[in-house]
Amino acid sequence: MARRDYYHEANAPKPNSIVPAVSAVVCSDDGRIVLHLRTDNGYWSLPGGGLDVGEDVASAIVREVKEETGFDVKIERLVGIYSDPAHVIAYDNGEVRQQFSICFSCRIASGSLAVSNESKEVRLFRPEEITELSIHPANRIRLDDFFEGAERPFIR
């Protein structure tokens, strides 16, 4: 399904749904961050996605990371909750979502890097490499919050 992200744009369509979603800053033991190059919007992105009916948040993050990167993860902490009403995502089926994502810090436990149907590429990046990537501003905020390392989660 094709999508278009609107971020603080005056011409953005009005949202007609909010879907609980999760995302993860996934770290390797050597401190690299896992990102995937999305097929639907062309941005490097944190792995994540919507919760399925009957699924809890922890199961959703483990499932989404596995589906999009090939890695099994251990959840370490909550980075933040992101619900900016000026970030909307329009899908070609007419749905227009307001962002609502809970972001976690995770550590790779097992598995091996794999590309999914949602990804053109999956790679591990050193933190200093991330600044040069084409990343949506909403994901950039989550990464910045992660690198800040605050004891308490961010609520944005």
DSSP 22-55: EEEEEE-TTS-EEEEEETTT--EE-SEEEPPTT-
Alpha helices in the chain (DSSP H): 57-69, 127-130, 137-148
CA distance 142 to 16: 24
Note the pLDDT tens digit of each residue in 43-101.
999 999 999 999 999 999 999 999 999 999 999 999 999 999 999 999 999 999 998 99
CA distance 72 to 6: 31
CA distance 51 to 42: 22
Please identify which residue in the block is written with the tokens 């900016």.
Answer: 84
Q: What percent of the chain has pLDDT over 70?
A: 99
Residue 113's H or E segment, with its range, is none
**Mean pLDDT along residues 13-25:** 96
| pTM greater than the 0.85 cutoff | yes
Note the pLDDT tens digit of each residue in 104-114.
999 999 999 99
- CB neighbours of residue 122 within 10 Å: 20
pLDDT at 102 over 90: yes
For each of the domains in the chain, give its residue range(s) and CATH number, in order of start.
3-148 (3.90.79.10)
